[in-house]
Structure 1
Amino acid sequence: MLDLGALRNEANQEPDPVPTGPVTKETQIIAIYGKGGSGKSFALANLSYMMAQQGKRVLLIGCDPKSDTTSLLFGGKSTPTIIETSSKKKLAGEDLAIEDVCFQRDGVFAMELGGPEVGRGCGGRGIIHGFETLEKLGFHEWGFDYVLLDFLGDVVCGGFGLPIARDMCQKVIVVGSNDLQSLYVANNVCKAVEYFRKMGGNVGVAGILINKDDGTGEAHAFAKAVGIPVLAAIPANEDIRRKSANYQIIGKPGGEWGPLFEQLALNVAIAPPQQPAPLDQDGLLALFKPEDTGGNVTLMPATQADMRGAAYVPKPSLEIIYDAV
């Protein structure tokens, strides 16, 4: 039976006062965007691991529907996703608990938002639902130094732009290589940041992480052109490729690649969010040799005769044109 007296007593209670003391812990929330296959998950697994070995509390959240962000961190093992697990729990009449979806290794905490099955839902809506669930689990009360969000950059759906649109992160990092498609995605992310800053947003781009750097220089040229720093350049190296394919962490203190990720962790921590100057399509193509991109191709307009494959004779229009009064 409903206890009206208890409800009245609860309603009469004053809310807790707003905290006025000094801020003792500030979490840096960083969203990392890049083209699918650009190496975001590889870089983030190693970056988060190195940060944890440096004594930082790190939470890695995979926001890619493929749910592969944490696989390298956990030696190839997949983790239950928030979206799938919360659905199962709801059907069973049970509450979702943090231990159902968050796992840890050597000081790194990690989880996957997941996404809908192919053809059965909106990926962006899945992102929104995932963050709503995180808030219910206490996201804003967790005590982490860094929260790293791994986003698929070549999906322009609004849900994937959520951290930028709603100031859910302080800064963005883009991942790219010396190829047109990954830099096209990085440039689009810069455009999104610029757009939402004009709308009153505060998120900026802290820099670019160049992966599979073969020394040709296009990604460095892109960074200079849009006005963002290069946080690190991970070389196109067979040892790195092989270890990554075998789900091995290479960002360990004392290892061959340890210094690279130690410097990356430092750069990520101190790089301020900046307002980028994204390129137009011609500016992006200009970073590459014309023979490599088709930049020397001239656009030739098609005619009605071309479209019909025969001679074209314009017919009188049936539109009624009234004399100007």
Structure 2
Amino acid sequence: MNAAISALATRGPTGPGLDAIIRDAEDTATAPGTRNTQIIAIYGKGGIGKSFTLANLSYMMAQQGQRVLLIGCDPKSDTTSLLFGGRACPTIIETSARKKLAGEEVRIEDVCFKRDGVFAMELGGPEVGRGCGGRGIIHGFELLEKLGFHEWDFDYVLLDFLGDVVCGGFGLPIARDMCQKVIVVASNDLQSLYVANNVCSAVEYFRKLGGNVGIAGMVINKDDGTGEAAAFSAAAGIPVLAAIPQHDDLRRKSANYEIVGHPDSPWASLFTELGLNVAAAPPMRPKPLNQDELLGLFSGDAVGRGVVLQPASQADLRGGTLVERPSLEVIYEAV
């Protein structure tokens, strides 16, 4: 498999043997008879529609004859819920913990499931207040390595990552060249574009350090036609791979865990085009926006421009009364 996810093996993300493990994974990927796998990390703000987009994209790709593996890397563990009709998929982390207590080994059939040609699994996350979600991602990939991840044979591996925080395990695909390219999912709102811009900044930062991951483009979800997301894409120098409209039919079917990315759906052409664009889009170096440029994509009413920042004083903080006291600092004269 053409990836460095096996770099997580047993040494962790910063282990001394990382470079050698990455080289071994790349050598395996170029060996005769092996499939040239595209590993794509999808980032976006929580609730923006990554799971909806990925479930339908992976399903349509499978209907086109591609071998697709979908891996949920969001602690909410909801990436595969639409794919499996609302059924919860046992996560790798919870299954690992349960099997360990029972003195048993985790098997692939315990954590990987399939539907109509799509293979899918959830990494999961720790219980609330009992661990770090980013560390849970790292642990999940370590277990995938033990299950033979880098030997699996797929055309596409799609990784669904929470984009609100591009740090720790969540930023691993970008920081460690674990994927070839990144796709951001956003809408025409400031918060989702703020997250998309953060992801672009992370990609650019690691490119400056010698990384190879690039942005393939943006999927605009719940597009209401106001144009802010498209304007962001143009300013950041990344293409729009698809614009999924804000439509009641999509909302209802998503809420009912119905797949719309199949050949018989009225939305077939949309997800067919998305699949083709995702496959062909090269990894590009983005141009992240600064805060003022990002705010400039929106009208003044939307972001409160025109507000003047007024400095606060000590008197303000003390309710309007401030008694000046001499300093007790001891100042020594130079000898």
Structure 2-normalised TM-score? Answer: 0.89
Q: Quick check: 2:29–2:36 contact (8 Å CA) kept in 1?
A: no
Shift of 1:310: 2.1
Q: Secondary structure at the match of 2:199?
A: helix
Q: Say yes or no: does 1:190 pair with 2:216.
A: no
1:67 is matched with which residue: 69, 77, 82? 77
Change (3 A) 1:181 1:21: closer
Percentage of pairs with the same residue: 77
Give the gaps of 5 or more residues in structure 2: 1-26
Residues 37-186 of structure 1: matches in 2 within 5 Å? 37-186=47-196
Q: Which residue of 1 aligns with 2:240?
A: 230
Q: Secondary structure at the match of 2:62?
A: helix
Q: Say yes or no: does 1:207 pair with 2:217.
A: yes
| Alignment root-mean-square deviation, CA | 1.6
Shift of 1:201: 1.1
Q: Quick check: 2:34–2:153 contact (8 Å CA) kept in 1?
A: no
* Structure 1 outlier segments of 4+, above 6 Å: 17-20
Shift of 1:295: 1.8
Kindly provide the amino acid, as one letter, of the partner of residue 36 in structure 1.
G
Q: Secondary structure at the match of 2:150?
A: helix
Q: Which residue of 2 aligns with 1:5?
A: none
Shift of 1:141: 0.2
Looking at structure 1, the residues matched to 129 and 246 of structure 2 have their Cα atoms a distance apart, in angstroms, of: 35
CA displacement 1:219-262 (0-9 Å, x = unmatched) = 00000111100000000000000000000000111321000000
Structure 1-normalised TM-score? Answer: 0.92
Kindly provide the amino acid, as one letter, of the partner of residue 161 in structure 2.
F
CA displacement 1:176-225 (0-9 Å, x = unmatched) = 00000100111111111111112221111110100000000000000011
Looking at structure 1, the residues matched to 183 and 70 of structure 2 have their Cα atoms a distance apart, in angstroms, of: 14
Q: Quick check: 2:91–2:124 contact (8 Å CA) kept in 1?
A: yes
Q: Which residue of 2 aligns with 1:243?
A: 253
Looking at structure 2, the residues matched to 299 and 174 of structure 1 have their Cα atoms a distance apart, in angstroms, of: 32
Q: Which residue of 1 aligns with 2:298?
A: 288
Kindly provide the amino acid, as one letter, of the partner of residue 146 in structure 1.
Y
Change (3 A) 1:305 1:23: farther
Q: Quick check: 2:175–2:206 contact (8 Å CA) kept in 1?
A: yes
Q: Which residue of 1 aligns with 2:22?
A: none
Larger Rg: 1
